[in-house]
Structure 1
Amino acid sequence: MGRQLVPLTLDNLKDLPGRCRACVFWELDPVSGEAAVRAGRPEVEKESWISAVLLEWGSCGRVVYVDDRPVGFVLYAPPAYVPRSFAFPTSPVSPDAVQLMTAWMRPEHQGEGLGRVIVQTVAKDLLRRGFKAIEAFGSARWTEPACLLPADHLLSVGFKTVRPHHSFPRMRLELRSTVSWREDVERALDQLLGAVQKDPVLRPL
């Protein structure tokens, strides 16, 4: 079974699930997001956001393919590009971190270890780009696919709670914790992915 994590671009945006292509929960502030939905323009706003982040910052996501079929994705960016992040009671994201916004995996591929590999791939990308950590707003009451990742899932792939909250804890994964951790990342990528493509968001959260 061939597995690849490919950088997200406007060309493969079509490989995200339809509801995710039309979701601007993270990409716009609450007022602008509601206005985009009322105007029937969320897909256009999503494309504009990805285009702007690619031009100004670089790769902001990965699409997961198994045997050339898209089965999942992950989105991440510095908090300055994520307006919704400032609306959370546990904000802001630390200035040395990139925000893990959301991720999704087809149900039939959950439990195969791809969630951990996605986080490790993002970590490897951000280490190369000089960042110290990944942070995310977890959902402590997650019951079904949504725009936030379940807090329990984040804990299971190495995140620690840095600002507790009954609903939306802010969680952090240190990228340079130990040499052995980085070696484990490389080994997992080699074994599970073969080769990650060079630069050109599990369950839905």
Structure 2
Amino acid sequence: MDQLISIPGGWITLSDRRTQHRWDVELSPYRMGACPVTQAEYAEVTGERPAEHDGEDRLPVETVSWWDAVRYCNARSQREGLRPAYRFSDPENAVWDAGADGYRLPTEAEWEHACRAGSTGPHHGELDAIAWYRETSGGRPQPVGTKEPNAWGLYDMLGNVWNWCWDLYDAEVYGSYRVLRGGGWFDESWSCRASARRRSHPTFRVEDVGFRVARSGG
């Protein structure tokens, strides 16, 4: 399994272009996967390989829903003797146990804070050097960890696959839709920005959406 990187706490300002809303979030230290979850990691925990672009263990897992991602987190936690982060009160409702030490999805504030790694521009480096996107990907996902990392040692924060986050996008307008961050291999450069937000239904599966894991505590 890929290592988790310790991320320092701090403040992050999030923004939404649709509503022109900005909000500040204070974060405690946490840990995040150095790379998106790979096909081999997903198969080792779940016994399944759902990706459309199969064939190499280090490709990011994709064609996974938000529900697939949170269930993976719980299964990996149980496998490693950790307290699962999620409880399922019914088939359409997951509750996050904030005191659990197990694996979970990052919040979108955690995701952007980790992506930026102290930087303030749209990218944490020159895009061709850090991201697999439409102009560099060859029309498919690429093995994780093969572009340059950011200053905190995280790979593929932009491009390759969109990352599911824990958060609801806008419950009043979009109901149960969850946040996606980071851009994917099929996207143009505009979508591969630290601040770009996308939304989708938690059952949605497509070949440019994956996820990475986090754990609470430094």
Q: How does the TM-score come out when normalised to structure 1?
A: 0.28
User: Structure 2 length as normaliser, TM-score?
Assistant: 0.27
Comparing both structures, which one devotes a greater share of its residues to helix? 1
